[in-house]
Chains A and B, each alone.
Chain A
Amino acid sequence: QVQLQESGPGLVKPSQTLSLTCTVSGVSISSGSYYWSWIRQPAGKGLEWIGLIYTSGSANYNPSLKSRVTMSLDTSKNQFSLKMRSVTAADTAVYYCARINWNLIHYYYYYYMDVWGKGTTVTVSS
Protein backbone atom coordinates (compact mmCIF):
# COMPACT_ATOMS: atom_id res chain seq x y z
CA GLN A 1 0.00 0.00 0.00
CA VAL A 2 1.47 3.32 -1.09
CA GLN A 3 1.47 6.07 1.52
CA LEU A 4 2.73 9.65 1.57
CA GLN A 5 3.40 11.65 4.72
CA GLU A 6 4.21 15.34 4.91
CA SER A 7 6.44 16.73 7.64
CA GLY A 8 7.98 20.05 8.57
CA PRO A 9 7.59 23.10 10.80
CA GLY A 10 4.03 24.22 11.38
CA LEU A 11 5.07 27.82 11.94
CA VAL A 12 7.35 29.93 9.75
CA LYS A 13 8.21 33.59 10.17
CA PRO A 14 7.52 36.06 7.35
CA SER A 15 10.39 36.46 4.86
CA GLN A 16 11.90 33.12 5.91
CA THR A 17 11.99 29.82 4.01
CA LEU A 18 9.29 27.17 4.32
CA SER A 19 10.72 23.64 4.14
CA LEU A 20 8.59 20.51 3.90
CA THR A 21 9.39 16.86 3.26
CA CYS A 22 7.19 14.11 1.90
CA THR A 23 8.14 10.59 2.92
CA VAL A 24 6.95 7.90 0.54
CA SER A 25 6.37 4.26 1.50
CA GLY A 26 5.25 1.29 -0.56
CA VAL A 27 6.92 2.40 -3.78
CA SER A 28 10.32 3.73 -4.79
CA ILE A 29 10.33 7.40 -5.79
CA SER A 30 12.97 6.38 -8.32
CA SER A 31 10.33 4.49 -10.28
CA GLY A 32 9.96 6.12 -13.65
CA SER A 33 6.26 5.38 -13.66
CA TYR A 34 5.40 8.33 -11.44
CA TYR A 35 6.02 11.99 -10.77
CA TRP A 36 5.85 13.64 -7.37
CA SER A 37 3.95 16.80 -6.61
CA TRP A 38 3.05 19.45 -4.04
CA ILE A 39 -0.35 21.12 -3.74
CA ARG A 40 -1.58 23.63 -1.18
CA GLN A 41 -4.92 24.87 0.10
CA PRO A 42 -5.47 28.04 2.13
CA ALA A 43 -8.19 27.75 4.72
CA GLY A 44 -11.61 27.89 3.11
CA LYS A 45 -10.19 28.11 -0.40
CA GLY A 46 -9.46 25.82 -3.31
CA LEU A 47 -6.50 23.67 -4.29
CA GLU A 48 -3.42 25.25 -5.86
CA TRP A 49 -0.82 23.18 -7.68
CA ILE A 50 2.70 24.16 -6.62
CA GLY A 51 4.97 21.94 -8.70
CA LEU A 52 6.23 18.49 -9.57
CA ILE A 53 9.55 16.71 -9.65
CA TYR A 54 10.63 13.95 -12.00
CA THR A 55 12.71 10.97 -10.97
CA SER A 56 15.60 12.65 -12.80
CA GLY A 57 15.48 15.46 -10.26
CA SER A 58 14.31 18.12 -12.69
CA ALA A 59 11.15 19.99 -11.76
CA ASN A 60 8.31 22.10 -13.10
CA TYR A 61 6.64 24.80 -11.05
CA ASN A 62 3.49 26.89 -11.02
CA PRO A 63 4.49 30.07 -12.89
CA SER A 64 3.03 32.20 -10.11
CA LEU A 65 5.37 30.58 -7.55
CA LYS A 66 8.33 29.65 -9.71
CA SER A 67 10.63 32.43 -8.47
CA ARG A 68 10.32 31.27 -4.85
CA VAL A 69 10.04 27.49 -5.05
CA THR A 70 12.55 24.65 -5.29
CA MET A 71 11.80 20.94 -5.16
CA SER A 72 14.30 18.13 -4.66
CA LEU A 73 14.56 14.36 -4.29
CA ASP A 74 16.38 12.23 -1.73
CA THR A 75 16.25 8.73 -3.15
CA SER A 76 18.26 7.25 -0.25
CA LYS A 77 15.45 8.21 2.11
CA ASN A 78 12.63 7.81 -0.43
CA GLN A 79 11.62 11.42 0.15
CA PHE A 80 11.02 14.55 -1.85
CA SER A 81 11.04 18.08 -0.54
CA LEU A 82 9.69 21.57 -1.05
CA LYS A 83 11.38 24.84 -0.23
CA MET A 84 9.54 28.14 -0.57
CA ARG A 85 11.51 31.34 0.02
CA SER A 86 10.40 34.75 1.24
CA VAL A 87 7.08 33.56 2.61
CA THR A 88 4.25 35.88 3.61
CA ALA A 89 0.92 35.37 5.33
CA ALA A 90 -0.54 34.52 1.92
CA ASP A 91 1.48 31.28 2.00
CA THR A 92 -0.40 30.07 5.07
CA ALA A 93 -2.14 26.88 3.98
CA VAL A 94 -2.45 23.13 4.26
CA TYR A 95 0.30 21.61 2.11
CA TYR A 96 -0.24 18.23 0.47
CA CYS A 97 2.16 15.97 -1.35
CA ALA A 98 0.78 13.65 -4.00
CA ARG A 99 1.84 11.06 -6.54
CA ILE A 100 1.12 11.77 -10.19
CA ASN A 101 0.35 8.61 -12.11
CA TRP A 102 0.24 8.56 -15.89
CA ASN A 103 -0.54 6.31 -18.82
CA LEU A 104 -1.43 6.29 -22.49
CA ILE A 105 -4.87 5.83 -24.01
CA HIS A 106 -5.89 6.33 -27.61
CA TYR A 107 -2.50 7.90 -28.38
CA TYR A 108 -2.96 10.52 -25.63
CA TYR A 109 -1.22 10.61 -22.30
CA TYR A 110 -3.32 11.12 -19.22
CA TYR A 111 -2.23 12.12 -15.73
CA TYR A 112 -3.87 12.02 -12.34
CA MET A 113 -2.97 12.38 -8.67
CA ASP A 114 -3.87 8.99 -7.28
CA VAL A 115 -2.25 9.02 -3.83
CA TRP A 116 -2.20 11.98 -1.45
CA GLY A 117 -0.69 12.63 1.93
CA LYS A 118 -2.95 13.73 4.77
CA GLY A 119 -1.60 17.26 4.58
CA THR A 120 0.31 19.47 6.97
CA THR A 121 -0.69 22.95 8.11
CA VAL A 122 1.85 25.72 7.72
CA THR A 123 1.20 29.10 9.29
CA VAL A 124 3.29 32.12 8.37
CA SER A 125 3.35 34.50 11.30
CA SER A 126 5.81 36.38 13.44
Chain B
Amino acid sequence: SSELTQDPAVSVALGQTVRITCQGDSLRTHYVSWYQQKTGQAPVLVIYAKSNRPSGIPDRFSGSGAGDIASLTIAGAQAEDEADYYCNSRDSSGNHSYVFGSGTKVTVL
Protein backbone atom coordinates (compact mmCIF):
# COMPACT_ATOMS: atom_id res chain seq x y z
CA SER B 1 0.00 0.00 0.00
CA SER B 2 0.99 3.63 -0.39
CA GLU B 3 2.71 5.80 2.18
CA LEU B 4 2.59 9.54 2.71
CA THR B 5 5.62 11.10 4.36
CA GLN B 6 5.52 14.29 6.42
CA ASP B 7 8.12 16.07 8.54
CA PRO B 8 7.40 15.30 12.21
CA ALA B 9 7.50 18.88 13.47
CA VAL B 10 7.94 22.47 12.39
CA SER B 11 7.84 25.77 14.24
CA VAL B 12 6.82 29.22 13.07
CA ALA B 13 6.95 32.66 14.65
CA LEU B 14 3.62 34.32 15.26
CA GLY B 15 2.49 36.09 12.10
CA GLN B 16 5.03 34.38 9.87
CA THR B 17 4.49 31.82 7.11
CA VAL B 18 5.00 28.09 7.39
CA ARG B 19 4.78 25.39 4.77
CA ILE B 20 4.13 21.72 5.50
CA THR B 21 4.88 19.09 2.89
CA CYS B 22 3.53 15.63 2.16
CA GLN B 23 5.25 13.24 -0.22
CA GLY B 24 4.03 9.99 -1.72
CA ASP B 25 3.42 8.13 -4.96
CA SER B 26 -0.36 8.25 -4.52
CA LEU B 27 -0.24 12.03 -4.95
CA ARG B 28 0.69 11.56 -8.59
CA THR B 29 -2.77 10.16 -9.30
CA HIS B 30 -5.03 11.25 -6.44
CA TYR B 31 -5.89 14.60 -4.95
CA VAL B 32 -4.70 15.39 -1.43
CA SER B 33 -6.75 16.67 1.49
CA TRP B 34 -5.40 18.21 4.69
CA TYR B 35 -6.71 17.97 8.25
CA GLN B 36 -5.98 20.03 11.34
CA GLN B 37 -6.18 18.28 14.70
CA LYS B 38 -5.90 20.20 17.93
CA THR B 39 -5.12 18.40 21.16
CA GLY B 40 -8.02 16.29 22.35
CA GLN B 41 -10.21 17.14 19.35
CA ALA B 42 -11.33 15.42 16.18
CA PRO B 43 -9.60 16.30 12.91
CA VAL B 44 -11.03 19.16 10.86
CA LEU B 45 -10.79 19.42 7.09
CA VAL B 46 -8.82 22.53 6.05
CA ILE B 47 -8.00 21.80 2.38
CA TYR B 48 -9.52 19.41 -0.14
CA ALA B 49 -8.70 18.56 -3.75
CA LYS B 50 -5.18 19.95 -3.26
CA SER B 51 -6.07 23.64 -3.03
CA ASN B 52 -9.71 24.17 -2.08
CA ARG B 53 -10.78 25.59 1.27
CA PRO B 54 -14.05 24.53 2.91
CA SER B 55 -16.31 27.32 4.07
CA GLY B 56 -15.26 28.64 7.46
CA ILE B 57 -11.55 27.93 6.99
CA PRO B 58 -9.50 31.16 7.08
CA ASP B 59 -7.87 32.20 3.83
CA ARG B 60 -4.43 32.10 5.44
CA PHE B 61 -4.60 28.35 4.75
CA SER B 62 -3.72 27.37 1.21
CA GLY B 63 -2.73 24.19 -0.59
CA SER B 64 -0.59 23.44 -3.61
CA GLY B 65 1.48 20.70 -5.13
CA ALA B 66 2.76 18.88 -8.17
CA GLY B 67 3.98 15.41 -8.89
CA ASP B 68 4.40 13.40 -5.71
CA ILE B 69 4.55 16.37 -3.32
CA ALA B 70 1.72 18.38 -1.79
CA SER B 71 2.04 21.42 0.45
CA LEU B 72 -0.08 23.18 3.02
CA THR B 73 0.87 26.80 3.69
CA ILE B 74 -0.24 28.90 6.62
CA ALA B 75 0.40 32.56 5.84
CA GLY B 76 0.49 34.74 8.93
CA ALA B 77 0.27 31.92 11.45
CA GLN B 78 -1.87 32.56 14.52
CA ALA B 79 -1.63 31.00 17.96
CA GLU B 80 -4.78 29.01 17.27
CA ASP B 81 -3.10 27.33 14.30
CA GLU B 82 -0.88 25.32 16.63
CA ALA B 83 -1.95 21.74 15.95
CA ASP B 84 -1.10 18.49 14.20
CA TYR B 85 -1.68 18.49 10.46
CA TYR B 86 -2.29 15.35 8.42
CA CYS B 87 -2.39 14.86 4.68
CA ASN B 88 -4.58 12.18 3.14
CA SER B 89 -5.28 10.70 -0.25
CA ARG B 90 -6.62 7.63 -1.88
CA ASP B 91 -4.20 4.74 -2.01
CA SER B 92 -2.51 4.17 -5.36
CA SER B 93 -3.03 0.40 -5.21
CA GLY B 94 -6.18 0.55 -7.32
CA ASN B 95 -8.54 -0.33 -4.47
CA HIS B 96 -10.77 2.33 -3.02
CA SER B 97 -8.75 2.78 0.16
CA TYR B 98 -7.09 5.70 1.86
CA VAL B 99 -3.81 6.56 3.48
CA PHE B 100 -2.90 9.27 5.98
CA GLY B 101 0.43 10.97 6.31
CA SER B 102 2.36 10.56 9.52
CA GLY B 103 1.44 14.05 10.67
CA THR B 104 3.30 17.31 11.29
CA LYS B 105 3.19 19.10 14.62
CA VAL B 106 3.11 22.86 14.04
CA THR B 107 4.27 25.00 16.96
CA VAL B 108 3.58 28.73 16.86
CA LEU B 109 6.26 30.62 18.80
Cα(A101)–Cα(B93), bound, Å: 20
Residue in A47, A64, A103 whose CB lies within 8 Å of B86 = A47
Q: A111-B90, A116-B43 are in contact. List 12 more A-B contacts (CB 8 A).
A: A47-B43, A47-B103, A49-B88, A49-B98, A60-B97, A101-B48, A105-B49, A112-B49, A113-B35, A113-B43, A116-B42, A117-B42
Residue in B30, B88, B101 whose CB lies within 8 Å of A113 = B88
Cα(A61)–Cα(B96), bound, Å: 9
Cα(A116)–Cα(B88), bound, Å: 14
B54 within 8 A of A: yes
Q: Which residues of A line the B interface, CB within 8 A?
A: 37, 39, 46-49, 51-52, 60-64, 96, 101, 103, 105, 108, 110-114, 116-119
Q: Which of B90-104 contact A (CB under 8 A)?
A: 90, 95-103
What residues on B are CB-neighbors of A118 within 8 Å?
41-42
Q: How many A-B residue pairs have CB under 8 A?
A: 73
Cα(A114)–Cα(B44), bound, Å: 8
How many residues on the B side are at the interface (Cβ–Cβ under 8 A)?
A: 27
Q: What are 11 A-to-B residue pairs whose CB atoms are below 8 Å?
A: A47-B43, A47-B100, A49-B98, A61-B97, A62-B97, A105-B31, A110-B50, A111-B98, A112-B31, A113-B45, A116-B44
Taking chain A's interface residues, is the majority helix, strand, or loop, or is none over half, making it mixed? strand
What residues on B are CB-neighbors of A101 within 8 Å?
48
